[in-house]
Structure 1
Amino acid sequence: MTNAVVLDVDGTLVDSNYHHALAWFRAFRGFDVTVPVWRIHRAIGMGGDKLVAAVAGQHVEDAHGDALREAWEHEFDPMLPEVRPLEGAHRLVTAAVDAGFAVVLASSGKRRHVDRYLELLEVEGVDATSSDDVEETKPAPDLIEVALGRVAPDARAVVVGDSVWDCEAARKAGRPVVAVRTGGFGEAELREHGASAVYEELDLVRADLHDLPLA
């Protein structure tokens, strides 16, 4: 049976969570809505389809949802060149591929952003999903299910992410999850949301690659 690794991208493989939080803050301010940046950061990992209501309320989503998402893109795009891979990201992906795992990236981000991240990671032959591929993003399980459907639908798989939303999505998809602290979430809360192990950095995940839980 095939073994698979489903990797989150923002905050897990690339250092982008705080760029996203700032872009959302600026987007909200454009509509005279002030949401503390710390609260926005706590929601990074959700897709934009869920984030607006989660941090600002359903009334803001109803009034400005689509326009806010467009404004977020406008604010985030100039920061895209500043986003860099996290230490060990390339090594983790290539090690998993070399070890025979089916590797797929499952991101709540926009497709063109994910394509840029793939270039930064300098990995070839790795498939990826984005918010463009599903109706609902994390914490819904859709991205994980679509990702596995592309590479190995019947695989024994593990999800690697950085946020509680990755953990929730993995739980709903019936897959084990391990987490890294690179997105700014604490160990205790990641474990509370289902992470069986929490790592400080990606090279430690790579060292445990053959011992990760698979289901």
Structure 2
Amino acid sequence: MIDTVILDVDGTLVDSSYHHALAWSRAFGRHDLHPPLWRIHRAIGMGGDKLVAEVAGQEVEDRLGDELRERWTEEFDRLIGEVRPFAGTRALLVAIRARGLHVVLASSGQPRHVETFLDLFDGRSLADAWTTAEDAEESKPAADLLVAALDRVHGTSAVMVGDAAWDAEAANAAHLPSIGLRTGGFSEEELCKAGASAVFDGPQELADAVKQGLLDRF
């Protein structure tokens, strides 16, 4: 039986995936680079250390990677005030806690961004712990962040909840099962192909399933 639920934040608990994609598009544009937004979106959920090469190639990463990440921060800071939690985010965290399970938020975001998101749904009081980009050497789809999240609560077994294929792949790398949400724009087929055991439309639907005993299957 699991003792912990690890939840991604961006795109899973807060509606930020498309804000991230737009911020990256503007950051690339400041260097006269214009990868299509759909390609950027498909990489959202990866850490910024991997996204540049995924979207624009290794040569751009080698030449401009750090500068692009700085520009992305500037652009995302202009958009972060528009980010809102999904309906059911608080209900989901409350439902998990009611099952007697640890709640850990596994974000690879910058600490101040993560803190802003926590305040949107009272995450500080509902989560037992959370991570930021400072807690993992390598970002998703590597397993580092999930291992750090589980260590935070001294958990022994967990299920991962995320909105992107990269979340499911990170769970696979950590030898953990995963649940997908369609809130990040990935299809049910894509999430299942990446390894998700079940897929739900969003936090509220998952909260209802948790109340009905979904997590007893893991």
Q: Report matched runs for 1:150-165 at 5 Å.
A: 150-154=152-156, 156-165=157-166
Secondary structure in 1 matching 2:197: strand
TM-score (norm 2): 0.94
- Equivalent-residue separation in structure 1 for 2:139 and 2:202 (angstroms): 25
- Equivalent-residue separation in structure 1 for 2:37 and 2:133 (angstroms): 23
Alpha-carbon offset, residue 100 of structure 1: 1.1
Specify the alignment match of 1:81 in structure 2: 81
Does residue 211 of structure 1 match 2:214?
Answer: yes
Q: Report matched runs for 1:42-121 at 5 Å.
A: 42-121=42-121
Specify the alignment match of 1:170 in structure 2: 171
- Equivalent-residue separation in structure 2 for 1:99 and 1:119 (angstroms): 23
TM-score (norm 1): 0.96
The runs of 5 or more residues in structure 1 that have no matched partner are: none
Alpha-carbon offset, residue 125 of structure 1: 5.1
Q: How many residues align?
A: 213
Specify the alignment match of 1:144 in structure 2: 146
Aligned sequence identity (%): 54
Residues 86-130 of structure 1 deviation map (CA, whole Å, 9 limit, x = unaligned): 110011012212321100000121111111111001130521101
- Equivalent-residue separation in structure 2 for 1:198 and 1:98 (angstroms): 21
RMSD: 1.2
Tell whether the 8 Å contact from 1:2 to 1:152 is kept in structure 2 after alignment. Answer: no
The runs of 5 or more residues in structure 2 that have no matched partner are: none
- Equivalent-residue separation in structure 2 for 1:110 and 1:35 (angstroms): 24
Tell whether the 8 Å contact from 2:103 to 2:126 is kept in structure 1 after alignment. Answer: no
Specify the alignment match of 1:130 in structure 2: 132
